[in-house]
A and B are shown apart, each in its own frame.
Chain A
Amino acid sequence: MSDISHHQAVVPEKLVQGKPHARGWNLAVLGVLPSWLLMGFALIIPILIIVAVSFSVRGAYGGFDWGFDLAGYKQILFNEGWSGEIEFTPQYLVIILRTLLLAGVTTLLCLTLAVPVAYYIASQPPFRKALLVYLVTLPFWMSMILRVYAWMIILGRDGPLPQFLQFFGAPSGLTLMYNDGATLAAMVYTYIPLMVLPVFASIEKLDGTLIEAAHDLYGSRWTALRRVILPLTAPGIASGAILVFVPSLGAVLEPILMGGGKQMMMGSLIQLQFGGGRNWPFGSAIAVMLMIFVMIVLVLIALRARRKEVAA
Chain B
Amino acid sequence: MKKRHDVKRYPGLGVLSFAFFVYLYAPLAIVILYSFNENRITGVWTKFSLKWYGSALNNAALVDALKTSLLVAVIATVVATTIALMAAMAIIRGKRMRARKLSETVVNLPLLLPEIVLAVATLILFSLIGLQNGLLKLVIAHSAFCTPFAFLPIRARLQGMSLDFEEAASDLYARRWTVFRRVTLPLIFPGLFSGAMLAFLISMDDFITSNMLSSGGTTTLPVYIFSLIRAGTSPELNAVASLLILASLILATVALTMSARGTGKDI
Is A60 among interface residues, defined by CB-CB distance under 8 A?
no
In the complex, are the beta carbons of B121 and A49 less than 8 A apart?
Answer: yes
In the complex, are the beta carbons of A49 and B4 less than 8 A apart?
Answer: no
In the complex, are the beta carbons of A39 and B107 less than 8 A apart?
Answer: yes
Residues of chain B lying within 8 A (CB to CB) of residue A146: 28, 31, 225, 241, 244-245
Residue ranges of A at the interface with B (Cβ–Cβ < 8 Å): 6-7, 10, 14, 19-25, 27-32, 34-36, 38-39, 41-47, 49-50, 53, 63, 113, 116-117, 119-121, 123, 130, 132, 134-139, 141-147, 149-154, 156-160, 163, 189, 192-193, 208, 211-212, 215, 221, 224-225, 246-247, 249-250, 252-253, 257, 267, 270-271, 274-275, 280, 283-284, 287, 290-291, 294, 298
Residues of chain B lying within 8 A (CB to CB) of residue A150: 27-28, 30-31, 241
CB-defined A-B contacts under 8 Å, sample of 30? A21-B166, A21-B170, A28-B90, A28-B95, A29-B90, A34-B82, A43-B110, A44-B109, A50-B117, A63-B127, A113-B20, A117-B20, A132-B21, A141-B198, A142-B244, A143-B245, A145-B226, A146-B28, A149-B233, A157-B43, A158-B42, A208-B8, A224-B7, A250-B115, A250-B117, A253-B208, A271-B208, A274-B123, A274-B212, A287-B116
Residues of chain B lying within 8 A (CB to CB) of residue A116: 10, 13, 16-17
In the complex, are the beta carbons of B109 and A149 less than 8 A apart?
Answer: no
- Known contacts A134-B256, A153-B31, A270-B117; decide if A20 and B13 are in contact (CB<8 Å): no
Is B201 among interface residues, defined by CB-CB distance under 8 A?
yes
Secondary structure of the B contact surface, majority rule: helix
Q: Which residue of A lies closest to B24 (CB)?
A: A139
Residues of chain B lying within 8 A (CB to CB) of residue A43: 109-110, 118, 121, 144
Residues of chain A lying within 8 A (CB to CB) of residue B23: 189
A118 to chain B, nearest CB (A): 9
Is B63 among interface residues, defined by CB-CB distance under 8 A?
no
Residue ranges of B at the interface with A (Cβ–Cβ < 8 Å): 4, 7-10, 13-14, 16-17, 20-21, 23-25, 27-28, 30-31, 34, 41-44, 79, 82-84, 86-87, 89-91, 93-98, 103, 106-107, 109-110, 112-118, 120-125, 127-128, 140-141, 143-144, 147, 163, 166-167, 170-171, 173, 175-176, 179, 198, 201, 204-205, 207-208, 211-212, 222, 225-226, 229, 233, 237-238, 241, 244-245, 248-249, 251-253, 255-256, 260
Residues of chain A lying within 8 A (CB to CB) of residue B175: 6
In the complex, are the beta carbons of B7 and A139 less than 8 A apart?
Answer: no
- Known contacts A50-B117, A145-B222; decide if A35 and B107 are in contact (CB<8 Å): yes
Report which of A41, A135, A212, A287 forms a contact with B120, defined as CB distance below 8 A: A287
A144 to B203, alpha carbons, bound, how many Å?
12
In the complex, are the beta carbons of B87 and A142 less than 8 A apart?
Answer: no
Residues of chain A lying within 8 A (CB to CB) of residue B95: 19, 21-25, 28
In the complex, are the beta carbons of B30 and A50 less than 8 A apart?
Answer: no
Residues of chain A lying within 8 A (CB to CB) of residue B24: 135-136, 139, 192-193
Q: Give 17 A-B pairs besides A31-B90, A211-B8 with Cβ atoms closer than 8 angstroms.
A: A20-B170, A25-B96, A32-B86, A39-B107, A39-B147, A46-B118, A49-B128, A120-B16, A136-B24, A138-B252, A141-B198, A141-B205, A153-B238, A159-B43, A215-B7, A257-B229, A271-B211
